[in-house]
Structure formats: C-alpha cells, structure tokens
Structure 1
C-alpha cells in the first residue's frame, strides 16, 4: 500500500494525515473503544510553527508517543479530556461519605462559589498543569486577599480530587503536588500562629476592662481556656456544662452555612463525628459561674432554638446566636482598638497580631504542650482525629522550650 505524504514529501504513518489547512491529524481508538482525533501544526519536534498560527505545544509525533505510553499504562486519556475540574471535584466530594457534614458542606460552598465560575473550574482535567493551580492560588491571595489558611482549604479539595484521577488512571501525575510550598513559612504556617503568653495576657486584660468590648471577655477567655472550635463555642448550652464535676460535654456544634437553599444556623455532630468530655480549670469555671449569674435567666426564658437545642451560653444583643464572620470582625476591631492605645502610648504593652477564633484554639493547644500535658490527653481534649495533628503543635512547643533552656543555662564550652 502506497504511503501518504505531507506537503514536504515526508511519509505519514498509519492514522496520520494532513488537512488542506496544513494542520496534521492523528486518529486512533482508545482503550474504551472511543474514536479520537488529535491535531498539531507540526509533524515533528524540529518543525517550525506557521507564523500566523497559534504555536502547538507538542508536535503530532510527540503527542502520539505520549498517547502510546498512556495506552500501554492504561491511562484513560479520553475521559480526562472530557471531564472538567469542577466535575472531577463534585465526583470526589460525592465519594466522601465519611467526611464530616460540616466539612463537606464547606467544601461544596467553596467549590460552587469560587472554583466553578473560575476558568480553572471549566478546564479539562487532562489540560491542567501545576502552573494553573498555582495561578489560581495566586489569584486568591493577591486579588481576593484570602488568608493562607483559606487557600489551604482549596488545596485540601484539589489535591485529593486530582489524586483520585491519578488512581483512576485518568491522568499520569497530580498537578497539585507542592503547590502550597511558597505560602508555607514553617510547619505551622497553614494555621495562625499562637499568641505568646504576653500577648494572651494583654488581650485578656484589655477585653475585660474595656467598656465596649468587655461583652466578649467570657467567650474569649472560654476559648483560650478550653481550645474549643468556633462551632462548638457558638452552640454551647448551659446543659453542656457540669459545674459540680467541672466538666464540659462537647456533643454537637452549630454551623452557619447554606442548607436547603437557605443560609442559617443548624446543628451538627462535632467534627470527626466524636463527642468528648473536657475537664474545666478553676479559672474557666469562675468566669462561667459569674457569667451564668448575669445571663442565665435571659437564656432560659428566651424561646430561641436551633434544631432542638436551646439555653445557649453565648447570645448576641438580639438574643440569637453569633455567626463566625461577626465574631471575626469583632476580633479584628478589638485588635485594632488595642493597638491604637499602644501606639498612642495609653497602654504600655506588646502589640497584638491579627487573630481569629482558631488562633485561640491553637494558643490553648500550645500552652498545654508548653506546660507538659500528656500528648494523648491533649489529643483527646482537642478532639483531633489523629495524634499527628497534636504532635505538630507539641513538637513545636517542645523545640521552643529547648531553645529557652539552652539560652538560660551557661554554654557547655564555658569551662
């Protein structure tokens, strides 16, 4: 059989041809039986691209070589060329039946709000490169001004979704690998750094004494003294506190997200689906007792209820529950007000860094680690799913203790 030739007189292989436009085409059948065509303006790598045409990323022969390798390795190239990133993520989230409902709803919200409408969300999975993921993170950081911890949530969605595509033989490698590296400045950078002892003391004193922000003192002290998550704090009821035995029962949390098409508060199981009992220190008990004397009657006579839960401990001025965003704004305002006093010389103390409810949780964990609490006990109190999460904080605190001890005692060379 006579071989077909291109316009340069070169023999074309089986499945190859050249269109009237000059563009090269290769047609083949993939491992699922689907008929597929690929195109390039260049036959081989050394060919020049027509000046008036968009540069081909790969020549036809290079593309064929990759296809043959994919076929040999069982990579389902065609499906990866038809499914979008958004569709891949939805497929992944649908498979996560053991994921905490609050986490799942948060991931769905992030996907629908910022991934689906973005160009990345509509890209075909096979076309996504590492640079596309990194450019998306750059967009979130520079244009949307998202915190690193928020960008990490998107990485938590992207990475396992693309890894599922790798495991399903849709793509050869995960483009999300190491995409967060440039945002990480040390092992604890994906969460807020804890407050130092001096910062914690300064914050508590300021909030307790301030005429405007003292309303937040019991809640902030409670978070710093228990390490509870924000949803657990918002959902705390007086029935969860056993004053006689000095314990706190974490058996639910309150989430503020869209559910059934409406943004509202709703009750959910604690994160990781596990309830826990937290012993309360004397100072936290004293703060709660004093707060109960001032607010308990208003709480129990209030008919406010969320999915069967009532008698909430921390209610806003409207006698309803706070939202996480409202508290975040309040904490920003507290920090700014305090720092203005310091800068004006009215308070002679340390400046405060920006902080969130998670900063308080991280601070509690760090204080307990610094004080030498048993690592397994600390994991139970924090409600961490694995001890590895607790160990990250524990080892960091241990290293700082080592540094302070080395600085305190004379050098081993001082003989």
Structure 2
C-alpha cells in the first residue's frame, strides 16, 4: 500500500525558501455503505522523509486492522458519556454520584480539554502528580481507576488505538503516621454501662457494633430476617448509603467479601432478644429504625447520639468507625487468629487486616514468643 506525497503551496523552482510543508494521502479502506474508497490526508511535515515515515506507520495500522478514524471528542466529554451511559447502570447510586464528581471536580479542569486521540501518558502522569499535592492516596486511586476504566472502554470500542492510561503509574505517598484511636476493654465497659442506663436503643446498637465488627452502615441496614437469635448468627447482606441527598438500603455491602455470616456473643444475643420483644414493628423490618420516623435511621443522627454517650460516660473520643477498629484490635490482642478476624470484618484479604492493624503486631509477636517459651522451657 503506497501513498501519494506533495509539497503543499510551494512554487519555488529550486530549493524551497517559502517554508511549505509536505503532506501525504493514503487509502484507508472502503465505505461499507457506498463501496467507495476512503482516503486519509495528513499534512504539516517539514521534510518528505518525515511524511514517508508517518505514511508507512499509518499503512501498517491499516494492514493490521488497527487503523481508527480520527475524531475530535475530548477526554472530558468521553468520560462523562461513559459514566452516564455505561457506569451508571453498573454501580450503586452513591458510587455513580462520586464518579461524576471526580469528572467535574478533577478530570475536566485538568485534562478534560485534550482530544481523546491526542492525550499522552505524560498528560495523565502530570495530572496524577498534580493531584498528589492536594488529594489523599485513596482519592487519587479512585480517580485513576475511573480514568483507566474509561480509556480501556474507549480502546475496546475502537475509539482510540491504545489505552495510554494503562501505561501510567499512579503517584505513591507514604502513609501518614497517625495513631488509630480505640478503646481499652475497661473503657468499652465504662461506655456500655453508661449507655445502658441512658438509652436502651443506643446501648443495643453500640453493643452489637462492638461485639460484631460490623460497619455502621451495615448495622443501620440490618434486617430481623438476617438475625438468627437461636443459633447466635447474623448474616450481613446489606448496607445503608446516602447519595443525591437521599438515603436508601443497598442490597449488597461494601465489597463481595463483606457479604458474610458472623457468630455473635451470647450476651449480645440476649440483649437483641429483649430489644426485639419491646420493639414496635416497622415497614422495612429493620433492627434499628429511626425512633422518630420508624424508617431508615440517618448516620448523622447516630453520630450525634454516639458523641453524647461518649461525653456522658467520660471515655476518650473516637469515631463511630472506631468501634469497628476497637473490635478488631481487642480480638487480635486476645490472640484470636487473624484469619478469623478478617472473616468477621469482611476484609477481602488477610493482608488488608494485617496492614490496617499492624500496630497490634508487636504484642502478637511477644505473645507468640511467650507461648513457645512456655512450651519448650
């Protein structure tokens, strides 16, 4: 396959002094509707050799079936279309809303104007590096995952010849040296003793959180049908989410690994039994419906109640999610197998569990050394 070459607009008789550039034209196939040949013309080359080289590269793409007709769609326009037309039907509403905010708040202001066909790995690498100045590692990873997924879809659809986003490494930053705030066993008892007297509703909720390791969204979405009071088991199948100013129950927890069954402490089961007997029925059969509306309870309301109980009981301030951390830390310090802790928390891998609770490792190793010492000496 050969192309035709010409020097555009040059009228010089000998050596060119007008600065005209070279162009080439090449057949790139036939129109399936009309049967007529389609031709691609590219210009702007300083020398004929440059034009010949570019023509040869294009001819190779055509011969291999890799040629893609150029278009002017921008990165921002394509990713918005991808999120609206494809991703929206595949993810939960809260995830869709988050991805759309990534596009409007980060992608469009930085690389959204670049034509999809012309964006380079360097453009995307600079974008990630700039994000690293103001965003957390997790936030950058989420944005980068959306960019990569969008470009992969564009490549699979034949819109771009290569997924350049897959060639880019996301910036890495050292994890901040922050101490995870959890309660000791004595502080847990102090908090529960106070809450039991002040609010039976919150006592039951926080007791379950502290003895199951469930996320607060999972607790708020818990249905009595998933509570086996006879066999001391709870099946975690749902979570409460907030998106687009609406609260709803999502029919699957955070990840596939989050769908799990948890064996619950006998004393917690006793409290749940008494709580159920006194509870008024609610339409969704929730274990912890809103005391005011008898519908889904908002996370903010629970957070206010939690902080009030903390202040009254005099224990150190931690977050609601800190109850989950407290549960895991307590088990690990009691030498409970890390694999069991992983399964109860619903972590996808044991690495996640050990990385999150690495602060407990020194104590676990000391305990292991004491055990081997007692066995052999």
TM over 0.5: yes
Computing the radius of gyration from Cα coordinates, the structure with the larger value is 2
CA shift for structure 1 position 282: 3.5
Match of 1:182 among 172, 181, 188: 172
| Cα separation, 1, equivalents of 2:301 and 2:328 | 21
Contact 2:27 2:40 in 1 (8 A): yes
How far residue 281 of structure 1 moved from its aligned partner, in angstroms, is: 1.8
Other-structure match for 1:285: 269
Distance 1:77 1:330, change over 3 A: farther
Query: Over residues 274-299 of structure 1, what are the superposed CA-to-partner deviations in whole Å (9 max), with x where a residue is unaligned?
Result: 95432112354356457x27xx64x5
In structure 1, the residue matched to 2:375 is none
Residues 248, 5 of structure 1: alpha-carbon distance in 2 compared, 3 angstrom cutoff: closer
Give the whole-Å Cα distance in 2 for the aligned partners of 1:209 and 1:231. 24
2:232 aligned with 1:246: yes
Matches of 2:46 and 2:210, distance apart in 1: 66
Tell me if the contact between 2:25 and 2:39 (Cα under 8 Å) persists in the aligned partners: yes
Map 1:80-159; keep pairs closer than 5 Å. Answer: 82=73, 84-88=75-79, 90-91=81-82, 101-102=91-92, 105-116=93-104, 118-119=108-109, 120-121=111-112, 123-130=114-121, 132-133=123-124, 148-159=137-148
CA-CA distance at 1:397 after TM superposition: 7.2
Which of 152, 160, 166 in structure 2 is aligned with 1:163?
A: 152
225 and 8 in structure 1: CA distance in 2 versus 1, 3 angstrom threshold: farther
Once residues 178 and 141 of structure 2 are traced to their aligned partners in structure 1, the CA distance between those partners, rounded to angstroms, is 15
- Partner SS, residue 78 of structure 1: coil
CA distance in 1, matches of 2:325, 2:67: 44
Alpha-carbon contact 2:221-2:238 (below 8 Å) kept: yes
Q: SS at the partner of 2:290?
A: coil
Cα–Cα, structure 1 residues 378 and 403, in superposed 2: closer, same or farther, change >3 Å? closer
Instruction: Say which of 390, 395, 409 aligns to 2:349.
Output: 390
CA distance in 2, matches of 1:39, 1:312: 70
Instruction: Name the SS for the 2:117 alignment partner.
Output: helix
Change in Cα spacing, 1:175 to 1:112, as seen in structure 2 (3 Å) is: same
CA contact (8 A) 2:216 2:320 kept: no
Are residues 269 and 173 of structure 1, via their aligned partners in 2, closer, same or farther at CA, if it must alter by over 3 Å?
Answer: same
CA distance in 1, matches of 2:13, 2:6: 8
Work out the CA distance in 2 between the residues paired with 1:381 and 1:65. 60
**Is the Cα–Cα contact under 8 Å of residues 254 and 265 in structure 1 kept in the other structure?**
yes
With over 3 angstroms needed to count, the CA separation of the structure-2 counterparts of 1:108 and 1:196, relative to structure 1, is closer
Q: Tell me, in whole angstroms, the C-alpha distance in 2 between the residues paired with 1:70 and 1:360.
A: 58
Shift of 1:319: 4.4
Q: How many residues align?
A: 347
- Normalised to the residue count of structure 2, the TM-score between the two structures is 0.63
1:235 aligns with 2:217: no
Pair 402,267 (structure 1): closer, same or farther in 2 beyond 3 Å:
closer
The equivalent of 2:46 in structure 1 is 43
How far is the alpha carbon of 1:264 from its aligned partner?
Answer: 3.0
| Cα pair distance change 1:79/1:226, threshold 3 Å | farther
Q: Provide Cα deviations, 1:191-247, integer angstroms capped at 9, x if missing partner.
A: x98946557875785687589999756544433432334432221234432333211
Question: What runs of 5+ residues in structure 1 fail to find an aligned partner?
Answer: 12-17, 45-58, 411-415
Deviation at 1:321, TM superposition (A): 2.3
Cα shift readout 1:127-172 (whole Å, capped 9, x = no counterpart):
33445445655776766xx654344333332223323444556343
* TM-score, normalization by structure 1: 0.59
Q: 1:277 to 1:399 in 2, by over 3 A?
A: closer
Residue aligning to 1:321: 296
CA distance in 2, matches of 1:327, 1:283: 26
- For the aligned residues, what is the CA RMSD? 5.4
Whether contact under 8 Å (2:221, 2:286) holds in the other structure is: no
Aligned to 1:373: 337
Q: Is the 8 A contact 1:155 1:180 kept in 2?
A: yes
1:172 aligns with 2:162: yes
User: Could you say if the C-alpha distance between residues 116 and 368 of structure 1 is closer, same or farther in structure 2, counting changes exceeding 3 Å?
Assistant: same
